[in-house]
Amino acid sequence: MMSNAILDNKIMLECMDIKKSYPSPDGEFVVLEDFQLKIHEKEFVSIIGHSGCGKSTLLTMVAGLNDITDGKILLESRKIRGAGPDRAVVFQSPSLFPWMTALENVMIGVKQVFSHGTKKQREDICKYYLTKVGLGNSMHKKARSLSQGMKQRVGIARAFSLKPKVLLLDEPFGMLDSMTRVELQDVLIDVWSKEQITAIMVTHDVDEAIFLSDRVIMMTGGPYAKVGDVAHINIERPRNRTTTIEDPRFYKYRQHLLEFLDH
């Protein structure tokens, strides 16, 4: 079960009867159908499933970057219509402006969201989150000179700096080597634990999903994908990687997810 603290929270995001289809030479190709999901405020939810089941499609619909064929997505009981700063996305590749510094890249969104603030106030927000993700000494470096892992740290800082209602993570560590991936999982969980922003992450990594999440949503294979099963990760927070991995419950959850994916 989810912790009582999360169960007591309001519903932040709700997907109701979601359908997503595309035209094809053979007629309608249905990616998602009858997809239902409620996510509580301050909850961290991961979505796993085989390639092609519509995980990233769902995330882009929540972000307002992809039209919904049928159904609706509610954010704080209001229907989502297009993209907005209340939903910040961290993609697999952070798409930074290479000629700008890390600080300048983060500042772009902060200027729009906090247009009422002073220049110093906006800079302080950017510097705070860049320091939180471990770039305190690299914020004035041009993005082109940063490693892939450092670029993704900028992407995480950029998302949190917008103070969104929902954080959307689309396989954010998928392009990184295993060591960098583990480092950034720790960075993400540390910053998220302090900010407590409702988060939805798409991932292929079962261990990553268990370590980071309150719930793991398992999607059936596409086409016509929907929620197949849900694992409630009842491991106490804040989580430490070593103690979490040594917890016998971790391996029960792992086995459950792997068995679902093997079907």
Contact 63, 91 (CB under 8 A): no
What was the pLDDT predicted at 1? 47
pLDDT greater than 60 at residue 4: no
DSSP 65: S
Mean pLDDT rounded to a whole number for the chain: 94
What was the pLDDT predicted at 235? 95
Share of the chain above pLDDT 70, in %: 98
Share of the chain above pLDDT 90, in %: 92
What was the pLDDT predicted at 263? 79
Helix, strand, coil share of the chain (percent; to 5): 40, 25, 35
CA distance 219 to 240: 27
What was the pLDDT predicted at 6? 74
pLDDT greater than 90 at residue 3: no
Give the domain 3-262 fold: Rossmann fold (3.40.50)
Per residue in 208-263, pLDDT (tens digit) is: 999 999 999 999 998 999 999 999 999 999 999 999 999 999 999 999 999 999 97
3-state secondary structure at position 32: strand
What was the pLDDT predicted at 5? 64
Take residue 36 and report the two structure tokens written for it. Answer: 């239902």
Per residue in 102-147, pLDDT (tens digit) is: 999 999 999 999 999 999 999 999 999 999 999 999 999 999 999 9
What was the pLDDT predicted at 2? 53
CA distance 244 to 263: 27
Instruction: Please state the rounded mean pLDDT for residues 79-85.
Output: 94
